[in-house]
Chain A
């Protein structure tokens, strides 16, 4: 169908509206983070900053300050540490999730074994269970194992919370991959394992990349779980730390906005760089 001019113009208008809707609040956050306090608190509000104020970023990212040999940290100590926590938690959790989901997804879609349907059904059924029903008993289990506030404890819970979705996504992805390649390998004398490693896994790189991206976004954005299971700064991710800023810096919007901007940079980069893969996994590869 050759689009008429009217439709084309209409579509451009829609696209501009969609872009404004999606990017607007982010832009607001960025502008707020570099606005001087006076601009932010002005009535009526000043949309664009009169002057550039980077104090918020300096406070969050500034290096440790030493006075007379004693280290006097600014918020930099806690914020950077929280960002580091978020990063390490994300990378490690996603690695475990990939291992679990890729092999399970492959197994559910291509291998026949007793109980396959039951296990798969049970797995998908857990998607409707909100974490909350499990949180209290999980807290007791974790406390007994001395895992509260530890990285391993958090990773275990992240994996549990996100594994069903990961397996579901990868299972559907596996069903789209041509099976002939694997059959050919099997007929050439490969064992199942050899075929899996040498032939199927290389076929699945796009899906693995997509799953990694989606899982990274999910884990980076976790809030409720670390709110309860990461009470100390040793493991606290940046999502929880930001909410604490609300109480501590009630009127210092540039600082809070700066924290928000910094916290959204990693997921934004993942979404932009890996957007082709994310889109592929969720809407079909074309």
Chain B
């Protein structure tokens, strides 16, 4: 680096053309690239790939500090036991519920927000800041804030509904199978919609204005313009939004922990992994379940990306 005299480099650069300076000093470039990337690679290898391999290995061994069983290879038994447990099935069902409910609300709400914020207007910066706020807060804090609303004894929701005569007595919302899932999703969506709306907004801003202008000249109404211009051109952003929303929803944990603890009726797969690993101390089975969750998440992500690629062709 810096070993070649400046004059000669300039001449060579002129010789090779001004749009390809990288032809000169390609080895220098590659060396710099490696130097810059090496710390990251080291961190990933040591703290991600090595533990990942270890984790996969653990999932095939019987490691249970709760029962104190000896550590030996058991193949896929952990997987079979974990997937067969009724708690796992309940958790999976809940997680699927969270996923579908959350994605629907996030895409609908996110799109609405993105459409509102798409065109500049006075005060738009302030609205941006307000929109981002729920996403900026730790999800644990969100749970604390919403807890007062859902509290069964003196919560604001109960109070409001009672005063509107929609209910007769205060309800214990988190005891109901449907409402507990619904409200956990609500708190989750509250924190995620800002991110989704920003992703969709960036997609909207990539749509050229003249397309709308041409459509308007051709007599297309607002809804038609939306169906035939906005939605199709929004597909890449929608794919990113769906993938992001899915990855986040499948890993849902914080909100549930704060709002309803480890109760079974709101338990997610991630919560089940936490319980299996850190309360039952069954490391083998817990890791197996975590691997299954990762694979499921990866499959969803690939599915979205695949659909998007096919649609774009």
Contacts and interface: CB of A to CB of B under 8 A. Distances in A.
Contacts of A77: none
Interface string A163-174: 110010000000
Interface in A31-82: 32, 40-45, 47
Interface in A184-205: 186-189, 191-194, 196
Interface stretch (B24-32, B72-80, B173-181): B24-32
Interface stretch (B81-89, B96-104, B121-129, B227-235): B121-129
Contacts of B29: 111-113, 192
B149 to A, nearest CB: 6
B290 interface: yes
A107 B217 CA distance: 46
B113 A18 contact: yes
A98 B234 CA distance: 31
Interface residues of B, number: 109
Interface in B262-313: 270, 273-274, 277-278, 283, 286-287, 290-291, 293-294, 297-298, 301
Interface string B1-25: 1100011011001100011011001
Contacts of A164: 44
A104 B37 contact: yes
Max chain A Cβ within 10 angstroms of own Cβ: one of B7, B51, B286: B51
B99 to A, nearest CB: 14
Interface in B26-73: 26, 28-34, 36-37, 39-41, 43-44, 47-52, 54-56, 58
B117 to A, nearest CB: 9
Contact of B212 (A1, A188, A268, A282): A1
A32 to B, nearest CB: 5
Nearest to B257: A243
Contacts of B294: 128-130, 133
B144 A256 contact: yes
A22 B189 CA distance: 11
Contacts of B138: 220-223, 239, 263-264, 267
A138 interface: yes
B251 interface: yes
Contact of A138 (B51, B140, B194): B51
Looking at chain A, what size class is its interface with the partner chain? Answer: 35 or more
Contacts of A163: 40, 43-44
A15 to B, nearest CB: 6
Given A19-B127, A107-B32, A107-B33, A40 B154 contact: yes
Interface of A: 1, 3, 11, 14-15, 18-19, 21-23, 25-26, 28-29, 32, 40-45, 47, 99-100, 103-104, 106-108, 111-114, 116, 119, 122-123, 126-130, 132-138, 140-141, 156-157, 159-160, 163-164, 167, 183, 186-189, 191-194, 196, 217, 220-224, 228, 239-240, 242-243, 246, 253, 256-257, 259-260, 263-264, 267-268, 270-272, 275-276, 278-279, 282-284, 286
The 4 A-B pairs with the shortest beta carbon distances in the complex, nearest first, are A221-B138, A113-B33, A189-B6, A271-B136
Interface of B: 1-2, 6-7, 9-10, 13-14, 18-19, 21-22, 25-26, 28-34, 36-37, 39-41, 43-44, 47-52, 54-56, 58, 112-113, 116, 119, 121, 125, 127-142, 144-149, 151, 153-156, 158-159, 162-163, 170, 190, 194-195, 198-199, 201-202, 205-206, 212, 216, 247, 250-251, 253-254, 257-258, 270, 273-274, 277-278, 283, 286-287, 290-291, 293-294, 297-298, 301
Given A130-B250, A271-B129, A271-B136, 15 more contacts: A45-B154, A100-B40, A103-B37, A111-B36, A123-B40, A128-B247, A128-B294, A132-B270, A141-B50, A221-B139, A223-B139, A239-B140, A242-B144, A259-B144, A268-B133
